Chain A
Amino acid sequence: MKKFALPFLMLLSLLACKREDPVFSLTLSNANVKVSNLSQDYLVQVDNNAKTIYIEVDYLDKAELSALAVEIVGLPADAAANPAKSTFNYASGATQKVKITQGVTSAEYAISAAAAAPQPHFVSVKLNGVDVVDGSAKLKGSADLTTVSVEFVVSPANTIVKVGGEVIASATEEAPNAIDFSDKLNGVKFTLVCDDVTKEETIKVVTTGINKVNRLWGRYVKPVTDGADAWWSEVIPASDQSMRTMAMDDKYIYLAKTNKTLYAVSITDPTKTKAMDMGDYAAGGVFGSCALASMEDGNGGYVTLLSNMVNSTASEFVIWKWDSMDGKPTKVLSYHLPEAARIGDQMSVEGTWKDGKIWFHDFTSQQAAYVFTVSNGVINTTATKVSYDAKQGNWSAIYKYDDTQYIGGGPGAKSRLFTISGSTATTQLELPGAYFANPLHGIRFFTFNEQEYMSYVVLRNSYQDGQLRITELNGETLKASLETPGATWRFGLGDPVENDITAEKNGNGLGNSILRTIGGKIYISAYVPGAGLSVFTIE
């Protein structure tokens, strides 16, 4: 037995001296794998345990799989790859072997590559030329949402777009499409199909600006669709140019009958009217032709101002003020013209009774306005004469847009956009007759639902009818907006349905519209003597 002991110990010592083979310990990362000639981003996943490298190219680079150039980069100095770079056809699912050697150790990695599933999507979509952002496009409220033109670019390019099961092509000028987007709540569901992948995208329309203009009520002098309206004779005892002007505060519309009375009409209910207390006004004998306006009092209320008309330096020009519909008027201005002129046919106001201006266009020269400043309820008795560089008609008025830009409107001359600096008004633009028929009255500006508008009254049918118009202002400047005005809403004032009817001739070519925001809602009253009076609200 002992004789076996020595060989056994020798064998044991030999086994103890046997060295283990070195183990491959290099860890690859996706940074060690570079793929060239792809148009899109790609993904690499290295599994160092399984010794696999998976490359995923974008669907748009699917064709590159047949000759994909893969390079092993960034290895330590003592490591190398074989092949370090190779172009291989991975399209059929085949794998490429690459041997990584570090020192005396090595490992073989299997490289596979595939294309990601397509992700059909809109690269861009335009509705009526307006970009879709975050799934919705802002279209104007005046747009016809039942026929919206849809232009789109899709990716991948072979993506088919369907709406309601029907394939649609991107709109072009030659081949427009028309999709109904009138369901603003749910939008339109687009189905994008690429290979066997389907994706749905919903696009909605958000309207800006006015969606709807409601006529709250209308009183028509000689309507053609609904018979005569006795209101104009029984409640308001006139229907011609003797009721030449109109004002509105936040509760009442005021109509002034020359040489007689001021009437208040409820904005919400025209059956509620009242002949106002004229106090000493009529007795003063200066209530011939007149001008009328309501002005914010600076304390959340309004004052109503009524002037006479004077056309000589000898006559006293007077403004009377009512603090409320039930009160008596007080005389707040006595003024004598310094030269031959005529003021008091129309009055326009800006600012408040605490800090404002009252404008009277000069009927005689047609090229100037007398402007009275108001400070803390006191009218400065020295008027500033502002001269225009062009005539602006006789029964005209000046309407403020901003601190320097004003528009003149009235019969006898095209409306003009002026830049007013000091006592000089310089024409920026004569409003294009193609869009703005003469005369315009009651020009007001407002922004509703991110859209700017100009509302005004225009006389029609040889001054026998009138319209309220609300025009979108879309330009960078007011001048640009007026040169190419946007969509215009039109509402007849002489009849609830028909336009350009033959009512009573408005001899002076007058009219007015007033805009007030009452309880967060926009109200516009519009009046043309001989045609009618309406109140509109905006949605």
Chain B
Amino acid sequence: MKKWILAALLLLAAAASCQKLQFPVRSDDTSLIGLKCFVYYDPQNPSVRQELSLLMGTYNRERGLISYTFPADERFTPAALQRCRIEATIPPTSVLELTDAGGNPLGHGFEGFYDLRGNTLYFRITAADGTVKPYQLTCKSSR
């Protein structure tokens, strides 16, 4: 009798070891939830800034193309548009990388000041499951 029990246990153990582990489904979310620009327009007072939502410009969500023209506001001088910080909101499981126009990675996240006088920034968002979506942001001055 003991032999049978031992054999059954061995069989059960063998079957259990073959069972595949269930990993959680990784997110494929590469969406750009928000993209803010802070223009530091007062060189005398670096704490003064104007917040703008860049996605309020022309935005092709499907292709990841964003074009934003700064309002014709006296604060947004060419000098001020050289002092812009960018803040992106992405899914918590995703990663944002800056790239060049050819898609070559330059570094993670937006850092420091950006000159947004007619320049284009390229970046990509990589989802947890490895899905990659490239984005490009072009900003223009209306002055």
> In the complex, are the beta carbons of B102 and A27 less than 8 A apart?
yes
Specify which of A31, A45, A49, A58 is in contact with B65 (CB 8 Å cutoff). Answer: A45
Specify the chain A residue showing the minimal Cβ separation from B101.
A29
> In the complex, are the beta carbons of B60 and A30 less than 8 A apart?
no
The A-contacting residues of B in range 27-81, CB under 8 angstroms, are 57-58, 60, 63, 65-67, 69
> In the complex, are the beta carbons of B60 and A56 less than 8 A apart?
yes
> In the complex, are the beta carbons of A27 and B100 less than 8 A apart?
yes
The B-contacting residues of A in range 401-450, CB under 8 angstroms, are none
> In the complex, are the beta carbons of A31 and B69 less than 8 A apart?
no
> In the complex, are the beta carbons of B67 and A41 less than 8 A apart?
yes
Q: Which residues of chain B have C-beta atoms less than 8 A from A45's C-beta?
A: 63, 65, 136
Specify the chain A residue showing the minimal Cβ separation from B58.
A41
B120 close to chain A: CB less than 8 A: yes
B138 close to chain A: CB less than 8 A: yes
A48 close to chain B: CB less than 8 A: yes
> In the complex, are the beta carbons of A48 and B102 less than 8 A apart?
yes
The B-contacting residues of A in range 11-32, CB under 8 angstroms, are 27-31
A201 to chain B: closest CB distance in Å? 16
Interface size of B by CB at 8 A reads: 18
Complex Cα gap A46–B65 (Å): 11
Q: Report the contact-size class of chain A (Cβ under 8 Å from the partner).
A: 10 to 19
Q: Which residues of chain B have C-beta atoms less than 8 A from A43's C-beta?
A: 58, 60, 63, 65-67, 138
Specify which of A31, A41, A42, A116 is in contact with B120 (CB 8 Å cutoff). Answer: A31
> In the complex, are the beta carbons of A42 and B136 less than 8 A apart?
no
- Chain B 99-118: CB-based contact to A (< 8 A → 1; otherwise 0): 01111000000000000001
> In the complex, are the beta carbons of A48 and B101 less than 8 A apart?
yes
B24 to chain A: closest CB distance in Å? 33
A102 to chain B: closest CB distance in Å? 15
Complex Cα gap A30–B65 (Å): 11
B101 to chain A: closest CB distance in Å? 4
Specify the chain B residue showing the minimal Cβ separation from A48.
B102
B102 to chain A: closest CB distance in Å? 4
A54 close to chain B: CB less than 8 A: yes
Q: Which residues of chain B have C-beta atoms less than 8 A from A48's C-beta?
A: 101-103
B77 to chain A: closest CB distance in Å? 21
Known: A41-B140, A44-B138, A56-B65. 11 other contacts (CB 8 A): A27-B100, A31-B120, A41-B57, A41-B67, A41-B69, A42-B58, A43-B65, A43-B66, A46-B101, A48-B103, A116-B58
State the 3 A-B residue pairs at the shortest beta-carbon distance, nearest first. A29-B101, A43-B65, A27-B102
